[in-house]
Structure 1
Amino acid sequence: MSDIPTQPNKGFIAAIERTGNRLPDPVFIFIWLIGILMVVSLIASLAGLSAIHPVTGDPVDAKSLLSADNLRRLVTDMPTTFTHFHPLGYVLVVMLGAGVAERTGFLGAAMRAGVSNAPKMLLTPIVVAVGMIGNLAADAAYVVLIPLAGVIFAAAGRHPVAGIAAAFAGVSGGFSANLFPGQLDALLFGITEAGAEILDPEWNANIAGNWYLIMALFFVYLPVIWYVTDRQVEPRLGKWEGGTVADTDEPISGPLTDDERKGLIWGALTILAVIAVWVFLTIGPGTPLIDHDARPEARMTPFYQSLVAGFFFLFLLSGWVYGHITGVIANHRDLVRLMKESMSEMGYYLVLAFAAAHFVVMFVWSNLGLILAIDGAEFLRWTALPGPLLLAGLLILSGFINLFVGSASAKWALLAPILVPMLMLLGISPETATAAYRIGDSATNIITPLMVYFPLILIFCQRWDKEFGIGSLMAVMIPYSIWLMISGVIMIIAWTALNIPLGPGAMVDFTLTGR
């Protein structure tokens, strides 16, 4: 990365970069916060800090994490604290399958097929749409689609950097928009569940809890990114004079082979088969995914909870079929190897999850999260701000914090233990809080140099323009970020004001039992 040209170290964006680079790794942010939390809990306990539980009416007293009971619980429950961290199981299960679909090339081939023969007049919206759907593929979307978009734009006589920008905006700026739930939903709702259980131990995560909203965002973000690309970004870049990828003879893309096309067809049929099985399990004889003995509003809970397994089988089986047809998977040992490789790349997440799990559970032990939520909810109730405006504020807050801390899971693990129960006390559901957070988080992904793929996108641009620097990339992406943030704020205000369900079984409003 040493050959990447840089811009003068001045201005707001440069200040963001300098400040963010001084921050420790998110793992150590949690470690430092645990230390601070222990001191604060001791002071709060000595000061007699307390609140009244809104459901039971019992006093909630601050507990010192340095007490003998809590220190003993910290060291004796450490394995349980880690393994019972809600996002851990959700993410690892989904990634076991998604890793196979990615490593066999199934997801990459699907993206190439989606944009390679796009009509010139529809090139931008197709690239953006494939980018938003492709963020299900995580790394593959960045590594395959974004450079491919530059090649396709250049072949169409359009500026390749505009293609890269449109794809980057779709994949990363539109990270909260999709036609289907995916890895991000599993990750965020696992953390949401931990926050919601501070107030309501019976609350269970539903990874489809934002499905309707993210589908709507897909159709809102698509024309927004299309407009910004064709009317603002590309005219600013100027007319493309032609040329090839700078300083490389390495092909970035190529036509699909016969085996790849055949694999895509059979992979798609496999996806339909998995969906058919889930439909059968929901409406067929015995309906194992419906609990007929539960309350009417809880009868679909087994179905919602099964979606993690559903995505595991969907990714695993479609990737396996594609890999078998293309020759990437010759036998079951190859399949196991690909699953093992996908888990090996989760090493950093496991370390982060270990630190985050202890911060979250110690916050619960101290009762500080619940006390802050109760007192914070009372303050917000006193301000009489409408719920939609509160959520718009959360959206903007998450977007601002994202400029300095790139990890979506790390930020939500910090915010959820306070914000989720606080908003629940105000009658706003955990699904709604999650929706506001994720929209704000994704809107600023594309303008922070601390985003892990930002240097990679810069290199893709430099393949076409050697003089393209960090400042150039930020200048290109800022219009997208502004319009995505504005669109997101309007969406969350309108959606919550109209009380439209966020997903199957997920309403905007929330009522605590006993309130």
Structure 2
Amino acid sequence: MQRFLSIIERAGNRLPHPFILFLILCVVVAIVSWLMAMGGASGINPKTGKEVFVQSLISGEGLVFALTTIAKNYVMFPPLGVILVIMLAIGVADRAGLIASLMQISVMKAPRQLTTFVIFLVGMCSHVASDAAYIVLIPLSAMIFQAVGRNPLVGAVTGYVAVGAGYDASLLITPVDVILSGITTSAAHTINPQAYVSPLDNYYFIACSALLLSLVGTFVIERIVEPLAGKYHGDVVLNLEPIGATEMRGLKLAGWAALAFVIVVVAITLPAASPLRNETGGLVPSPLLEAIVALLAVFFLLVGWIYGKAVGKIKNARDAVSLMSEALKDLAPTLVLFFAISQFLAWFKWTNLGEWIAISGSHVLDASGFAGTPLVLAFIMLATVMSVFITSGSAQWSLMAPIFVPMMMLVGLEPALVQAAFRISDSATNVISPMSPYFAVCLAFLQRYQKDAGIGTLAAMTLPISIGFLVAWTAFLVFWIEVGLPLAPGVGLFTK
């Protein structure tokens, strides 16, 4: 296993940084579009009946497009504005300490027999704090396991896999939903310019998945990983400090504020003539669903502000602005990556390469009869292999979505279903790829307890979780498809 992971690590290290990778792909798109345009590549879009020609970027018109739309491509990149708005608000709640305190009290207050299950559930909901969830939950889980007489190494791994392997499942709407839905929307525009995939479009599925995976994770940890790890015989003790009275007061005030916010939104939405309902008085679709990002932003800003005031982290508006700035600093690498991704997607769309590939691919799929559940399963397997080497979910989805979303739309699959299938592969492989920076973080923490712990130690403990999640979650999606359950309010599985 260690040799296998070393091969993955060496292969992954040979890949360029995702930013450079997408710049290289821009050059590839330019060259391929030129060659295919020279060959007169075209296809008939079965949805519109119009003939689609590949346009060359290596032409006068292509040069003008590439040079005059750089800023527009970036500014109009669907996830950009939304993730900025969300992270400004979540940044206040996170930097004020609200999310860390919620994670700690949720796990500490859980009955001993439910400790593992609660850690998994909390880990999957902690992605509102983005990758900061790893830094908080890994040591916290280790300390809690040790406090109840269990192996702290298993505790650290439990926290790690709860966040990593369950990265795309949650009871809450997280920044992951915002980023993926924006990329999916952009890809779906190739076939339907009016298509819109909201951050809520996978909610039923991912919320139920969070509960399922918490059960699966608990079973694998307690019945497989923990017995293999055995008792901890080291002498390292990490003291777990309880939540103080000030923090408890802040949590209570934030809880009351959250309740009041929900009551106000419900009160505004309930009347049949509510401005948040659609013209027929329904909620799917409606301004309420379109406003979900704004509502989430106000919610996190409100509870974060109140908690921060209670614990002394926020004394005035200037402090809140400072916390927002700190949150955006952590977002800087993502914003840089978004620039390269936005250019690649814009060029790919302008050349019509995506639409041409989708049309050609859909013809092949139609002729082979390969569709529905088997097609989804094949897509999950392909994405899983890629996920081992490309640890950035947004980068991988930006690479796959422009090809597979339009193609699968043409054979009758909803964009939201394709996105849900991708989430399975993206999550399950997070904890076994040594390319992930948090793989090293977890390994370093294991070595604090056991100095000779190595890659093999961590791999042996995470691989059963990765396999268990991949198998159980894939089977769950198959069940979801076969029963015909909606993915979210008003969001089905198939377009035809």
Aligned residues: 496
- Asked if 1:369 corresponds to 2:354, the answer is yes
- Asked if 1:175 corresponds to 2:167, the answer is yes
Letter in 2 for 1:227: F
For 1:343 and 1:37, how far apart are their aligned partners in 2?
Answer: 31
- 1:167-316 correspondence to structure 2 within 5 Å: 167-241=159-233, 243-245=235-237, 253-284=240-271, 286-292=273-279, 300-316=285-301
Structure 1 residues 349 and 217, CA gap change in structure 2 (3 angstroms) = same
Structure 1 residues 285 and 216, CA gap change in structure 2 (3 angstroms) = closer
- Asked if 1:397 corresponds to 2:382, the answer is yes
Letter in 2 for 1:163: G
User: Taking structure 1 as the reference length, what is the TM-score of the superposition?
Assistant: 0.93
For 1:136 and 1:329, how far apart are their aligned partners in 2?
Answer: 20
For 1:228 and 1:299, how far apart are their aligned partners in 2?
Answer: 38
For 1:396 and 1:92, how far apart are their aligned partners in 2?
Answer: 32
- Residue 269 of structure 1: CA displacement? 2.0
1:467 alignment counterpart: 452
- Aligned partner (choices 392, 403, 412) of residue 407 of structure 1: 392
Q: Please state whether the residue corresponding to 1:60 is helix, strand or coil.
A: strand
Letter in 2 for 1:290: R
328-337 or 203-212, which deviates more: 203-212
- 1:13-412 correspondence to structure 2 within 5 Å: 13-241=5-233, 243-245=235-237, 253-284=240-271, 286-292=273-279, 300-412=285-397
Letter in 2 for 1:325: A
Q: Please state whether the residue corresponding to 1:194 is helix, strand or coil.
A: helix
For 1:301 and 1:422, how far apart are their aligned partners in 2?
Answer: 28
Q: Is the 8 A contact 1:41 1:63 kept in 2?
A: yes
Q: Is the 8 A contact 1:428 1:508 kept in 2?
A: yes
For 1:239 and 1:199, how far apart are their aligned partners in 2?
Answer: 56
For 2:267 and 2:178, how far apart are their aligned partners in 1?
Answer: 23
- 1:397-476 correspondence to structure 2 within 5 Å: 397-476=382-461
Q: Is the 8 A contact 1:396 1:440 kept in 2?
A: yes
- Residue 478 of structure 1: CA displacement? 0.3
What stretches of structure 1 move > 3 A for 4+ residues in a row? none
1:239-295 Cα deviation digits (max 9, x unpaired): 2235224xxxxx66411111101111111222222323332332237422222069x
Q: Is the 8 A contact 1:440 1:488 kept in 2?
A: no
Q: Is the 8 A contact 2:387 2:429 kept in 1?
A: yes
For 1:279 and 1:366, how far apart are their aligned partners in 2?
Answer: 46
69-78 or 20-29, which deviates more: 69-78
For 2:239 and 2:351, how far apart are their aligned partners in 1?
Answer: 53
Q: Please state whether the residue corresponding to 2:431 is helix, strand or coil.
A: helix
For 1:444 and 1:318, how far apart are their aligned partners in 2?
Answer: 33
Q: Is the 8 A contact 2:47 2:410 kept in 1?
A: no
Q: Is the 8 A contact 2:371 2:411 kept in 1?
A: no
- Residue 489 of structure 1: CA displacement? 1.3
User: Taking structure 2 as the reference length, what is the TM-score of the superposition?
Assistant: 0.97
Q: Is the 8 A contact 2:144 2:240 kept in 1?
A: no
Root-mean-square deviation over aligned CA pairs: 1.6
Give ranges in structure 2 of 5+ residues lacking alignment.
Answer: none
**How much identity, in percent, do the aligned residues show?**
37
Structure 1 residues 252 and 386, CA gap change in structure 2 (3 angstroms) = farther
Letter in 1 for 2:260: A
For 2:284 and 2:212, how far apart are their aligned partners in 1?
Answer: 32
For 1:104 and 1:423, how far apart are their aligned partners in 2?
Answer: 43
Q: Is the 8 A contact 1:125 1:226 kept in 2?
A: yes
For 1:52 and 1:97, how far apart are their aligned partners in 2?
Answer: 45
